[in-house]
């Protein structure tokens, strides 16, 4: 799913970095263990693949790794499970966990003895279904607001004054009056659009089980009003997160909603920028959706293999290795200890740590595989409202009807 974005937010390509390897049937205590991941952009010389090999060496096994495109990985994992040759370890985009768990592909952390006690509960929730947890988050990214300091200075806007929707909208009004552009984001009719809309939807106090609540309608109305008043461009209807970033990088926009994966690009814009959390409707930090992957152990006929698979996952997610991994993937670590080390090494990450700690999984609230059936009507409603094909109220009413029918 799009960008279920987040799995591909660090830049997935469309071709696998290796042949489609099925899991070895060798017994535990040596031999070859297979690992599948959604990072085909990393070849054998990368820090990621070297870490996999190091963890294999420490466990006394050889690693056979294959990198797949995110959507391809899900399909191959389901097929491999049906054929009884699933990989020993799989790294998947967090919303996919519920799909694989429901299909019986994954073991639980109780079954495979993985320690999840240090993981932030809000990040762990994306890999849970009912009372079961199906993996360990390798890291997380999320959304915040980048701002152009020169544009705000010209408009006389103090960034500290922006604490809620009303103050943000007032700032956009002043920016437009000063001859500059307000805010850009992605509202494209895919999961990517839902990903960007969720901080405003959740920040209103709305819940995904009731799209047409007054709170949910207010979030659509906020974006719709911004377009009508010229505070946001009509291009957001077709913008991906990449194209909206390109608009911001041009230097005329005050704000852009985007993620941790744009930090390197932000340093290349040539203007002074800053980052603030997305504000909730009445203040505070809005919950943004978590992107990032989970490391999980698929079901095996030979259950003796789980002990070594557990060693591999534990190695990949250990404190020392976690720091290296999240740096490579442009993620925020899933534990407080490593987050603290990240901020010590790069103070710019402090706002992202705060955003991640306020974030929530798209499949949280025990939605699991219901989430995609809700997300599609939701992004359709946003598109309808922004294009003025429907009022925000009618768009969300229709979306709720469609979602309720889909999840029955």
For residue 104, give both structure tokens. Answer: 């019986």
**DSSP state at residue 6:** B
Query: How confident is the model at residue 330, as a pLDDT?
Result: 86
Q: At 149, is the pLDDT very low, low, confident or very high (cuts 50, 70, 90)?
A: very high
Distance (Å, whole) CA 285 – CA 355: 7
Quick check: is 119 in a domain?
A: yes
Three-state secondary structure call for residue 146: strand
* Residue written as token pair 């959304």: 143
Q: Are residues 312 and 193 in the same domain?
A: no
The residues pairing with 115 across neighbouring beta strands, listed in sequence order, are: none
Domain of residue 55: give its range: 32-141+291-358
Q: Are residues 165 and 129 in the same domain?
A: no
Contact 88, 283 (CB under 8 A): no
For residue 243, give both structure tokens. Answer: 């194209």
Q: Are residues 48 and 97 in the same domain?
A: yes
Query: How confident is the model at residue 20, as a pLDDT?
Result: 38
For residue 244, give both structure tokens. Answer: 């909206």
Query: How confident is the model at residue 23, as a pLDDT?
Result: 38
Quick check: is 4 in a domain?
A: no
Q: Are residues 234 and 377 in the same domain?
A: yes
Contacts of 89 (CB under 8 A, 6+ apart): 33, 34, 35, 36, 295, 296, 297, 298, 309, 312, 313, 316
Residue 73: in which H helix or E strand, if any? helix 70-83
Q: Are residues 352 and 251 in the same domain?
A: no
Kindly give the pairing relationship between strand 143-148 and strand 89-93.
Answer: unpaired
Kindly give the pairing relationship between strand 181-184 and strand 273-276.
Answer: unpaired
Query: How confident is the model at residue 358, as a pLDDT?
Result: 93
The residues pairing with 259 across neighbouring beta strands, listed in sequence order, are: 143
Helices (H), 20-95: 47-59, 70-83
For residues 352-374, give the mean pLDDT: 93
For residue 322, give both structure tokens. Answer: 């976690």
For residues 184-195, give the mean pLDDT: 96
- Determine the angle formed by the axes of helices 319-329 and 336-345, rounding to 10 degrees: 60
**44 CB-side CA count, 13 A:** 4
* Residue written as token pair 């985009």: 93
Last residue of a domain, one of 358, 380, 397: 358
Query: How confident is the model at residue 71, as a pLDDT?
Result: 80
* Residue written as token pair 């050889």: 62
Q: Are residues 280 and 150 in the same domain?
A: yes
Domain harbouring 111, CATH code:
3.40.190.10
**What is the share, in percent, of the chain residues with pLDDT greater than 90?**
88
Distance (Å, whole) CA 138 – CA 177: 44
For residue 259, give both structure tokens. Answer: 């993620």
Contact 124, 152 (CB under 8 A): no
Q: At 2, is the pLDDT very low, low, confident or very high (cuts 50, 70, 90)?
A: very low
Contact 148, 121 (CB under 8 A): no
Distance (Å, whole) CA 80 – CA 83: 5
Residue pLDDT, tens place only, 67-107: 998 889 999 999 999 999 999 999 999 999 999 999 999 99
For residues 11-19, give the mean pLDDT: 33
Q: Are residues 95 and 40 in the same domain?
A: yes
Query: How confident is the model at residue 127, as a pLDDT?
Result: 93
Distance (Å, whole) CA 243 – CA 249: 10
Q: At 12, is the pLDDT very low, low, confident or very high (cuts 50, 70, 90)?
A: very low
**What is the share, in percent, of the chain residues with pLDDT greater than 70?**
93
Three-state secondary structure call for residue 213: coil
Quick check: is 396 in a domain?
A: yes
Query: How confident is the model at residue 29, as a pLDDT?
Result: 57
For residue 300, give both structure tokens. Answer: 């095996």
Residue pLDDT, tens place only, 284-340: 999 999 999 999 999 999 999 999 999 999 999 998 899 988 988 889 999 999 999
What is the residue-wise DSSP string for 336-384? HHHHHHHHHH-GGGHHHHHHHHH-B-TTTTTTGGGHHHHHHHHHHHHHH
- Determine the angle formed by the axes of helices 306-316 and 319-329, rounding to 10 degrees: 70
Q: Report if pTM > 0.85.
A: yes
Query: How confident is the model at residue 129, as a pLDDT?
Result: 85
Quick check: is 209 in a domain?
A: yes
What is the residue-wise DSSP string for 247-266? HHHTT-EEEEEEEGGGHHHH
Q: Are residues 309 and 251 in the same domain?
A: no
Quick check: is 7 in a domain?
A: no
Distance (Å, whole) CA 244 – CA 240: 6
Q: At 13, is the pLDDT very low, low, confident or very high (cuts 50, 70, 90)?
A: very low
Quick check: is 258 in a domain?
A: yes
- Determine the angle formed by the axes of helices 214-228 and 191-203, rounding to 10 degrees: 110
Distance of CA 41 to the CA centre of its chain: 18
For residue 404, give both structure tokens. Answer: 């309720």
Q: Are residues 70 and 162 in the same domain?
A: no
Q: Are residues 151 and 263 in the same domain?
A: yes
Q: At 134, is the pLDDT very low, low, confident or very high (cuts 50, 70, 90)?
A: very high
Q: Are residues 349 and 303 in the same domain?
A: yes
Q: At 131, is the pLDDT very low, low, confident or very high (cuts 50, 70, 90)?
A: confident
Contact 11, 66 (CB under 8 A): no
Distance (Å, whole) CA 178 – CA 231: 12
Three-state secondary structure call for residue 143: strand
Last residue of a domain, one of 323, 339, 358: 358
Average pLDDT of the residues of the chain = 91
Q: Are residues 119 and 195 in the same domain?
A: no
The number of folded domains in the chain is 2
Quick check: is 27 in a domain?
A: no
């Amino acid at each position: 799913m799009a960008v279920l974005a987040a799995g591909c937010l660090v830049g997935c390509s469309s071709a696998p970095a290796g042949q489609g390897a099925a899991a070895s049937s060798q017994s535990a205590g040596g031999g070859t263990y297979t690992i599948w991941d959604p990072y085909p952009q990393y070849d054998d010389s990368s820090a990621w693949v070297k870490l996999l090999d190091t963890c294999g060496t420490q466990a006394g096994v050889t690693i056979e790794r294959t990198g797949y495109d995110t959507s391809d990985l899900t399909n191959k994992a389901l097929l491999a499970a049906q054929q009884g040759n699933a990989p020993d370890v799989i790294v998947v985009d967090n919303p996919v966990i519920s799909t694989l768990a429901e299909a019986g592909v994954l073991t639980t952390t109780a079954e495979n003895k993985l320690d999840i006690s240090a993981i932030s509960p809000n990040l762990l929730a994306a890999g849970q279904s009912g009372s079961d947890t199906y993996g360990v988050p390798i890291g997380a990214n999320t959304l915040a607001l980048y701002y152009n300091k020169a544009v705000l200075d010209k408009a006389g806007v103090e960034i500290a004054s922006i604490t809620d929707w009303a103050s943000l909208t007032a700032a956009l009004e002043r920016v437009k009056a000063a001859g500059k552009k307000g805010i850009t984001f992605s509202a494209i009719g895919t999961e990517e659009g839902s990903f960007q809309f969720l901080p405003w939807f959740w920040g209103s106090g709305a819940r995904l089980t009731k799209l047409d609540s007054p709170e949910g309608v207010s979030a659509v109305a906020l974006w719709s009003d911004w377009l009508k008043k010229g505070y946001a461009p009509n291009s957001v209807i077709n913008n991906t997160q990449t194209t909206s970033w390109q608009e911001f990088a041009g230097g005329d926009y005050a704000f852009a909603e985007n993620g941790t994966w744009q930090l390197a690009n932000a340093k290349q814009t040539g203007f002074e920028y800053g980052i603030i959390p997305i504000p909730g409707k009445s203040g505070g930090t809005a919950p943004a959706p978590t992107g990032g992957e989970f490391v999980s152990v698929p079901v095996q006929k030979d259950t003796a293999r789980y002990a070594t698979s557990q060693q591999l996952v534990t190695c990949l997610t250990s404190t020392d290795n976690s720091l290296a991994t999240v740096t490579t993937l442009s993620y925020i670590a899933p534990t407080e200890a490593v987050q603290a080390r990240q901020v010590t090494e790069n103070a710019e990450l402090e706002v992202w740590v705060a955003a991640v700690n306020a974030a929530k999984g798209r499949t949280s609230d025990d939605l699991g595989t219901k989430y995609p059936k809700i997300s599609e009507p939701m992004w359709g409603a946003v598109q309808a409202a922004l294009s003025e094909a429907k009022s925000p109220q009618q768009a969300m009413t229709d979306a709720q009807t469609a979602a309720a029918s889909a999840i029955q």
